[in-house]
């Protein structure tokens, strides 16, 4: 089998969470472009319908949408899990959810940590439990979690996010050890500065705390990236698609930064 064949996803079905915008939407497009049938999951039916209409589709591909709020764990554990268990098996799961609001850990309300933990760790656990039986039966599974470079280096001003992302990384590493023998890999993709709706509020919060103009804050951030720019969401999507492919069968339990070299740790 050639390399181009090893990264194709024909005949595979992917479930992409947070797929109505940003990195999730970009990942869904790349996965579909590689031949996968994609189920898009997000809160907004209107945005999902628009994203669905823009997915590339060839013969044999059957895309779908699931309307769900990752913060509503009761709904996820009930109706959504039942739908996933009774429907076609998903070979690829992309766990992805919007980050908690920026702010200092020392100033965060205690409930903010619980809310973020539910939206990220608990929601991912619920959805993973629903799709793993199908992966086991197929002998093929790829669980890919979109987290943050804060897993390696905590990011100033993102106290709650830093905490929860670390929990996600430890959860994923544990899963990778438990599921590897079933042909299921578990990996984390760590985006750096990416041109999505997540970036402006982070820079705005930094500008407020520092008293610097917003443009100065943005330029300072750009200068910390060795390649000299922020990422396009599709660039993270390409990394996700590779980890989802047969070519990545021996890669599991890792944290892959997609950050233009910004992370200074090894």
What is the Cβ-side half-sphere exposure of residue 182, based on CA atoms within 13 angstroms?
19
- Report whether pLDDT(205) > 90: no
Strand partners, 222: none
pLDDT band at 58, cuts 50/70/90?
confident
Q: List the CATH code of the domain at 3-192+232-257.
A: 3.40.50.720
Calculate mean pLDDT across residues 239-258: 98
Calculate mean pLDDT across residues 238-255: 98
Calculate mean pLDDT across residues 83-95: 96
- Report whether pLDDT(231) > 80: yes
- Report whether pLDDT(15) > 90: yes
Specify the DSSP element, H or E, that contains 49: helix 45-53
Give whichever of 34-48, 53-67, 203-217 has the largest mean pLDDT.
Answer: 34-48
Is this prediction's pTM over 0.85?
yes
Tell me if 195 sits within 8 A of 232, measured CB to CB.
yes
Write down how long the chain is. Answer: 266
According to the model, what pLDDT value does residue 140 have? 98
Q: What are the pLDDT digits (tens) for 65-81?
A: 999 999 999 999 999 99
Closest by CA position to 193, among listed 226, 168, 216, 160: 226
Calculate mean pLDDT across residues 227-234: 97
According to the model, what pLDDT value does residue 1 have? 76
Tell me if 133 sits within 8 A of 184, measured CB to CB.
no
Distance CA 32, CA 55 (A): 7
Phi-psi region at 183: left, alpha or beta (left = phi > 0; alpha = psi -120 to 50) = left
Q: Where are the domains of the chain?
A: 3-192+232-257, 197-230
Q: What are the pLDDT digits (tens) for 154-181?
A: 999 899 999 999 999 999 999 999 999 9
DSSP conformation class of 120? I
């Amino acid at each position: 089998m050639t390399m181009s064949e090893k990264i194709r996803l024909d005949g595979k079905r992917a479930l992409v969470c947070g797929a109505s915008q940003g990195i999730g939407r970009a990942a869904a497009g790349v996965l579909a472009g590689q031949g996968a049938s994609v189920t898009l999951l997000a809160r907004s039916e209107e945005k999902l319908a628009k994203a669905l209409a823009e997915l590339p589709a060839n013969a044999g591909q059957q895309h779908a949408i699931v309307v769900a709020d990752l913060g509503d764990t009761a709904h996820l554990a009930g109706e959504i899990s039942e739908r996933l268990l009774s429907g076609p098996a998903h070979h690829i799961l992309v766990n992805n959810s919007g980050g908690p609001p920026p702010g200092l850990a020392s100033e965060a309300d205690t409930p903010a940590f619980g809310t973020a933990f539910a939206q990220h760790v608990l929601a991912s656990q619920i959805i993973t439990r629903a799709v793993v039986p199908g992966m086991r039966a197929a002998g093929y599974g790829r669980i890919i979690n979109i987290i943050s470079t804060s897993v390696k280096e905590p990011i100033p001003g993102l106290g709650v996010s830093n905490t929860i992302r670390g929990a996600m990384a430890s959860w994923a590493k544990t899963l990778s050890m438990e599921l590897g023998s079933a042909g299921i890999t578990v990996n984390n993709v760590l985006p750096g500065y990416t041109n999505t709706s997540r970036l402006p509020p982070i820079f705005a919060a930094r500008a407020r705390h520092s008293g610097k103009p917003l443009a100065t804050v943005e330029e300072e951030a750009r200068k910390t990236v060795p390649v000299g720019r922020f990422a396009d969401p599709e660039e993270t999507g390409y990394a996700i698609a590779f980890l989802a492919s047969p070519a990545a069968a021996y890669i599991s339990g890792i944290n892959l930064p997609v950050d233009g070299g910004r992370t200074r740790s090894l």
